[in-house]
Structure 1
Amino acid sequence: MNSSQVTPSGTVANADSSIIYRSRREPDASATVSVIRAVAEVEDVTPGDLPVLGDVIDPEALDGVFEGGQRVGRSNARLSFDYCGYTVTVTEDVVTLSVR
């Protein structure tokens, strides 16, 4: 699999060793939920065991970037931030975790 391929959920083996996880966002899940699920899966913990996401980014703002009614003019939106030792990148369709 090359670095441009995305699996429905799981670890990606690719040439870019800094990307350690890439997952398609579920259509009905908010960006915040998608991030928490991705990090929890990589860390092999329950979502409740993770640090509060709101300590590093405003969850309402994160969700607002990708909400259906708010997307006009933002179809290529990409947002990155650091959380739990990963650089998390969120797009309309994908959550990617990279090592810093």
Structure 2
Amino acid sequence: MADKSISYALVREVAAEKGVDPEALVPLHDVIDPDALESMFDNTDGSTLRNGHLSFSYEGFSVRVDDDGSVSLTSAPYDE
């Protein structure tokens, strides 16, 4: 996994896609618990990462976080 957290990468990617500063976005913690997001795919204790993915809506995107920590965005109807 990268040196930066999944939450950090996700916010930066959404901001880049929207062409705005990350501080202009709705705080991620208003949508999902960033600590829980990190812990779902964290293997700092040396254990095997969980298999699967997590999907949720954020800032007009459908966000998918895969078990390798990668983040993908798909445009979704804006309902926030």
TM interval, shorter chain, is 0.7 to 0.9
TM-score by length of 1: 0.66
Give, in whole Å, the separation in 2 of the partners of 1:35 and 1:60.
13
Q: Partner of 2:44: helix, strand, or coil?
A: helix
Change (3 A) 1:51 1:77: same
Deviations 1:10-67 (A, max 9, x none): xxxxxxxxxxxxxxxx610111001101101101111111111111100000011122
Give, in whole Å, the separation in 2 of the partners of 1:71 and 1:80.
25
Count how many residue pairs are aligned between Structure 1 and Structure 2. Answer: 75
Give the unaligned 5+ runs of structure 2.
none
Percent of aligned pairs with the same amino acid:
36
Is 2:55 the counterpart of 1:80?
Answer: yes
Is 2:62 the counterpart of 1:94?
Answer: no
Do 1:80 and 1:89's aligned partners in 2 also have CA atoms closer than 8 Å?
yes
TM-score by length of 2: 0.80
Higher relative CO (Cα under 8 Å, sequence separation at least 6) belongs to 1
Show the counterpart of 1:36.
11
- RMSD across aligned positions (CA): 1.9
Q: Partner of 1:29: helix, strand, or coil?
A: coil
After superposing on structure 2, the runs of 4+ consecutive aligned residues of structure 1 that deviate more than 2 Å are: 68-77
Partner AA of 1:68 in structure 2: N
